[in-house]
Amino acid sequence: MRRVPRPMARSWWTVALLVMAVGVAAHGQTGAPVPEQSPQVSNCPPMPAPIMVGTAVDVFVGGTGPNAVYRIPAITKAGTRVLAFAEGRAALGDIGTNDLVLATSDDDGATWSAPRTVLDLADRSINNPCVVTLHSGAHTGRVLVVVQSYPADTHEAKQATGLDGPGVCRVHVLTSDDAGATWSEPRDVTASMRRAEAPTVASGPGAAIQLRQGAHAGRIVVPFNQGPYGQWTVYTCFSDDGGATWSMGAVAPGGAPAHANEVQVAEVQGGELVLNARSFHGAKQRLAARSKDGGATWTELAPIKSLPDPCCQAGLLSVAVGARPVLAFTGCDSTTARTNGTLWISLDDGASWSIKQPLAPGFFAYSAPVDLGGGKIGVLAETDDYRRIRFIPVTLAIPAR
């Protein structure tokens, strides 16, 4: 007969003394002071099953390769090759003489090629890379990148309205059909992706997606924010013909008193889309909306109480772990600083974020996750006060339903 142990009855002060004793004993074993930790604000419980975070690897290091500074990561996988993109800058400022640079890995991020320039437009600044590898249609395997270009050495707040002229923000699409070895000439799609009255737009930055389910399966969806500067709103552009032509969806309503800014989108079960946006100088929480029509219209933006936001871009990814669909979010576990790089997991299509896993202590800014297959993802992230963009491998272990 199996015995059921009787609960031990202890008064509250006895338990307190035991806890204190354990803490003193642990401290005494090392003889070292307990390090002060950066503030963490999300109260999601740690992952009960093991999520394995591997060793981070440098991909872009400032002063190494063609540029002094690398910022704004984007990443995709095409076949067996992982492609990491960034803005190659001469200085830290957002708009200068930026180029689009690329590094590649053929071993799921263990080692990387030297960075090389894939787009350099004279007298223009390349910004906001947003990338997707097409998994269906006539151009399966094609890597498609959306970027903007601004007049060099200006400011985002000083762009002109209208669609033509040297002083406007322009939108470009470039593609590769050989996993990044060669690239098409950039195609100007400004009139299809930017409203004339919006002086500035930004794709992502990070990832675009191609839908797998529902009435709009095969559609390419690119998330955008638009100005005027400081009065941001978000929307998506989409293509149903492999990127040959593009349409603009409606602006997501709401968001006040914050402004939804840099944005990512993911597909969840049934083909529904989830939008996740930076909160620009307002609520210290991420903003979310949903679409049931492939990004043409959106529900009203609402704060995500369990996802803090210190006013920083973040990453979003739908990934299958075994047969279970998972939504992954990468960002800062702080409302005040770009720090505490963390992975959050949702098991219910973004309705809640019940699992979190620290990724990188200390400085952590823009990030972009990628599905490596087999329950593994990689996170391309800005670290070390913008001096390095590093690749962090992660193995997910999610309980079955």
pLDDT in tens, 329-372: 999 999 999 999 999 999 999 999 999 999 999 999 999 999 99
pTM reported for the whole predicted model? 0.88
What pLDDT is recorded for position 49? 54
Environment class of 131 (CB within 10 Å of its CB; exposed 0-12, middle 13-18, buried 19+) = buried
Which whole number is the average pLDDT over 242-248?
98
Residue 16: pLDDT band (50, 70, 90) is very low
What pLDDT is recorded for position 351? 97
The reply to whether 22 falls in a domain is no
What pLDDT is recorded for position 29? 37
The structural domain count of the chain equals 1
Residue 43: pLDDT band (50, 70, 90) is low
Average pLDDT for the chain: 90
The reply to whether 24 falls in a domain is no
Which whole number is the average pLDDT over 193-217?
97
The reply to whether 202 falls in a domain is yes
Residue 239 pLDDT > 60:
yes
Residue 19 pLDDT > 50:
no
Higher pLDDT among residues 271 and 283, named by residue: 271
Residue 129 pLDDT > 90:
yes
Residue 20: pLDDT band (50, 70, 90) is very low
The reply to whether 11 falls in a domain is no
What pLDDT is recorded for position 45? 53
Pairing, β 206-207 against β 124-133: parallel
The reply to whether 16 falls in a domain is no
What pLDDT is recorded for position 21? 37
Residue 57 pLDDT > 60:
yes
What pLDDT is recorded for position 284? 93
What pLDDT is recorded for position 41? 61
The reply to whether 32 falls in a domain is no
The reply to whether 1 falls in a domain is no
Higher pLDDT among residues 22 and 226, named by residue: 226
Residue 147 pLDDT > 80:
yes
Which whole number is the average pLDDT over 275-285?
91
CATH number, domain containing residue 72? 2.120.10.10
Q: Any idea which residue has 């007298």 for tokens? A: 123
Higher pLDDT among residues 272 and 10, named by residue: 272
What pLDDT is recorded for position 194? 98
CA distance 32 to 54: 26
What pLDDT is recorded for position 244? 98
pLDDT in tens, 290-341: 999 999 999 999 999 999 999 999 999 999 998 899 999 999 999 999 999 9
Residue 167 pLDDT > 80:
yes
The reply to whether 25 falls in a domain is no
Range of the domain at 302: 39-395
* Cβ partners under 8 Å of residue 317, min gap 6: 207, 266, 327, 328, 329, 330, 369, 370, 371, 377
CA distance 128 to 141: 22
Which whole number is the average pLDDT over 68-92?
98
3-class state of residue 7 by DSSP: coil
Residue 398: pLDDT band (50, 70, 90) is confident
What pLDDT is recorded for position 201? 97
Which whole number is the average pLDDT over 15-23?
34
* Cβ partners under 8 Å of residue 314, min gap 6: 264, 276, 278, 286, 307, 329, 330, 331, 332, 366, 367
3-state helix, strand, coil in the chain (%, to 5): 5, 45, 50
Tokens representing residue 356 in the block: 């979190």
